[in-house]
Structures are given as structure tokens and as C-alpha cells.
Amino acid sequence: MSANPNLLVQALLGDAAHLRADLLARALTHRSAGRANNERLEFLGDAALGLIMAEALCARFPHADEGELSRRRAALVNKDSLAAVARQLRLGDYLHLGPGELRTGGHARDSILADALEAVIGAVYADCGFACARDMVLRLFAARIERVAGADAVKDPKTRLQEWLQARRRPVPGYSVVEIAGDAHNQRFMVACRLADTGAETAGQGSSRRRAEQDAAQRMLTELQAESHD
């Protein structure tokens, strides 16, 4: 670490907080720096973060269905959001990186920052418990949770996929009906969503073409966000 870790603990947990030094050091160690790295804590923190956000959203939106809750959580828990929170904490100043990552500016890379924040959440959960981790996460993400409460957070999957691609200057996806099954009064549509630049394709199903397209778009967006988080 190139900065005082006590300052980070204070920013995370407050003046009277304590976090095991070995866990914090592990959480801030990228895999490029050796085998004793933060990947296991990242795994733990990712699970804790997902649960904390799911719990918070269920409490805040008691009438929302699974699809809306999933969209809101995806707007909160993604690489860009995590990296932004990590930058507010100046997490890059505390990271242990291997020589290669140091040379190429790994301390400022979104994926490394996002993973490190999840690892820090995992460390807090492991040392201080779920309630402590939840309080910390809700405080760090408070402004983002408020923004997600707005109308933009519930944009349909096709719109969000198109915006995600356009933000990266990639072409909009194409949709095609692959199959229509069932009787006229109980049809089931299968639609393919295909990316022109890579050929990647996902399939969605629904009781209408529109619903099948939305399902295919959501599957594609989930895959793209997962790839960008790797």
C-alpha cells in the first residue's frame, strides 16, 4: 500500500471502527501481485453486495416485480458503479499490484477497482459481520440508490441494451423471431437478439414478440455486463 490503511478503514467504517489488517491487506492485493490475493474475498463480497442491494430494493419497492427489482439492482451493481465508488474512496492508492499492472496503470482500471471494492466488502463482512457490511454498503451507495429510484432505472431491457451499446459506439442489436409455438390463443414466441459486430446471440421467450425481445435483450445485456466485469 502506498497510503495509510487506517485512513481507508476510517472512510469505510467510521472513527471507532476496526478491521483486521491481514484481511484488509488481502482485499487490496490484486492477483498480479501473487497467490495471496483478493479473489476469494471478491467472491464473498460480490455475494454480500448482491444480497444487501436485493434486501434494500425489496424494502424500498414493496410492489415491484422481479423484473423491475433485477433492473434496479443491475443499475446499482455493475463495474462502472463499483469503480466510481472505489474512486471516491481513493482505493487505487491502497492497491498492491504486480509490476506489469503497475506499469500499465492498473490502479486506475475500472475492473481492478471494482473487484477490489467487492473484496473490501468481503473483508468487512468476514471480520465485522453482515450488519456492519450492510451499513457500510448502504452508506457508500446512498446517492446511487436515490438515483436508481428514478424513472430511468426502470427502462426496459431493449432500451438499456441499446444505450449500453451506443455508449461504447457499437451498433444496435437486431431481433428476429425464431419460433412461434402453441395455439393461437396461447402462443409462445422465441426471439433471437444478435450483435452485428461480434455475432453474439441470445434467445428470449415470451407470450408476445415484444416480451420475447425484452427477454432476449436482458440476457444479452447480462452477458455483456458480466464480460465487462471480468
Q: Give tens-digit pLDDT for 125-184.
A: 999 999 999 999 999 999 988 888 775 556 788 988 999 999 999 999 999 999 999 887
The CATH fold of domain 5-154: Ribonuclease iii, N-terminal Endonuclease Domain; Chain A (1.10.1520)
Under 8 Å between Cβ of 208 and 216: no
For residue 110 the three cell numbers come to 475500472
Q: When comparing pLDDT for 190 and 155, which is higher?
A: 190
Amino acid letter, residue 40: R
What CA–CA distance (Å, rounded) separates 57 from 55?
A: 6
157-229 topology per CATH: Double Stranded RNA Binding Domain (3.30.160)
Residue 92 class from Cβ within 10 Å (0-12 exposed, 13-18 middle, 19+ buried)? buried
Catalytic residues: 46, 118
Domain residue limits, the chain: 5-154, 157-229
CA dist 96 and 21 (Å) reads: 14
Q: Rounded distance, CA 160 to CA 158, Å? A: 6
Question: What is the residue type of 162?
Answer: Q
Q: What percent of the chain has pLDDT over 70?
A: 95
Sign of the Cα pseudo-torsion (196, 197, 201, 205, in order): negative
